[in-house]
Amino acid sequence: MSATLSSLEVSNSTGLLDSFGVVKLVDSSRFLCRDFVSIRAKKNNMKKRWRFCSLSTDMKYSRVGQSGLESANNFPLLTNVLGSAAVGEVAVSSEQKVYDVVLKQASLVKRKLSSTGELEVKPEIVLPGNLSLLSEAYDRCGEICAEYAKTFYLGTLLMTSERQRAIWAIYVWCRRTDELVDGPNASHITATAMDRWESRLEELFQGRPFDMLDAALSDTVAKFPVDIQPFKDMIEGMRMDLKKSRYKTFDELYLYCYYVAGTVGLMSVPVMGISTQSQATTESVYNAALALGIANQLTNILRDVGEDARRGRVYLPQDELALAGLSDDDIFAGKVTDKWRNFMKSQIKRARMFFDEAEKGVMELNEASRWPVWAALLLYRQILDEIEANDYNSFTKRAYVSKTKKFLSLPLAYARSMVPPARKLSHEMKA
């Protein structure tokens, strides 16, 4: 039920990187992706060999300021989204977790900025194995992105070559991670397998990739100021799926959404870059990226209620269901009633609030990176419209955006991507 960089593909997505590939297992803990070294042999057999390094992987409601975590009164989304003061320690804990990661990543990016305001991209690093294969590893990542996230892939073609390839590598890793719990081998995944996947992540961040797809990401994180924590957090979200199928409050659900989807923004913004014309704080841009991830994942949840229920999962706040006069039994019964419609209206309203918050940050991204993000945002938003058009029946009908509507959205996304960041008015001009 994750949403990742194919927040990016609407038709068969599970989120901002939605389902990513086909990680196969020999047993409950060893991945079947072939050794990077074993792929070195014959270049003309490359595509056949690499096909098996596959995949099938899916902000808090606070705002972060430069001076630190502010009070709840300074977080419009916190008070509006929760609609209740009875959040207590859990909300503070969730905020703090996200806040710490956001500030860490924002600080890392600031340290890596050149005097021109652009990120300094390092040359390719030396990796184990046959170095001539590295560019082909990136190409394979691009092929996977093109296959599973067509709309987003199209947008990445406008990016610089370095950014383009890096985004593909991140997409592929997220898809593979998501596939661990949502893919064909999900029933065989254990906590030990997740621990090994995390150890493998740590190795590739140290420049020791396990296979060719890892090699592309290893090169990416060496070039760009990408921190390992968002990647670890995504794995933690997958662990949650192994042991948790209910969420008592929205705050609990929020943290899950951050893990499986909000993390993608923290991974990708350092690569996409922030416009040199932007006057927004780095933290606010990352906060908007988190909001987009949360919005996408909430949309996935509302779209997939019936599908999740058939797997014994309910990704809806239990306290809000009870307040609406509903329970898990109503979800499993799958009947559209007035109570259900009213409940869904409130959930859709919340998701749209996160999309609104995300829009503020998209405009601050580097000019060459805005189009794919705008396209993902506009297309994913339309899923909410389709849920409404289906009379809120997410039990037996899957809301999707037609190819025609997708096609018509692309020019609008492109037009919005051309709008430069808003200039802040001086005190004199405001007066």
Range with lowest mean pLDDT among 186-195, 232-241, 356-365, 373-382: 186-195
**Predicted local confidence at residue 152, as pLDDT:** 84
- Work out the average pLDDT over 362-370: 90
pLDDT in tens, 297-307: 999 999 999 99
Q: How far apart are CA 146 and CA 428, in angstroms?
A: 49
**Predicted local confidence at residue 368, as pLDDT:** 87
**Predicted local confidence at residue 154, as pLDDT:** 83
Average pLDDT, the chain: 77
**Predicted local confidence at residue 108, as pLDDT:** 75
pLDDT at 427 over 50: no
**Predicted local confidence at residue 115, as pLDDT:** 44
Specify the amino acid at residue 419: V
- Work out the average pLDDT over 12-27: 34
pLDDT at 254 over 70: yes
pLDDT in tens, 72-109: 333 334 333 333 334 444 445 566 677 677 777 677 77
**Predicted local confidence at residue 100, as pLDDT:** 74
* Max avg pLDDT among 49-58, 73-82, 331-340: 331-340
The share of the chain scoring above pLDDT 90, in percent, equals 48
pLDDT at 4 over 70: no
Reading the block at residue 59, the tokens are 């902000």
pLDDT in tens, 128-169: 455 568 888 999 999 999 999 887 888 888 889 999 999 999
- Work out the average pLDDT over 157-182: 92
pLDDT higher at 377 or 99: 377
Select from 232, 189, 243, 238 the least CA-distant residue to 24.
189
pLDDT at 114 over 70: no
**Predicted local confidence at residue 101, as pLDDT:** 78
**Predicted local confidence at residue 131, as pLDDT:** 52
**Predicted local confidence at residue 135, as pLDDT:** 87
**Predicted local confidence at residue 95, as pLDDT:** 65
**Predicted local confidence at residue 25, as pLDDT:** 31
- Work out the average pLDDT over 416-428: 66
Residues in Cβ contact with 46 at an 8 Å cutoff, skipping those fewer than 6 apart: 39, 133, 136
- Work out the average pLDDT over 239-267: 93
pLDDT in tens, 260-299: 999 999 999 999 999 888 888 888 899 999 999 999 999 9
pLDDT at 317 over 90: yes
pLDDT at 226 over 50: yes
- Which residues on adjacent β-strands are paired with residue 317? 247
pLDDT in tens, 208-222: 999 999 999 999 999
Reading the block at residue 375, the tokens are 């396209």
pLDDT at 177 over 70: yes
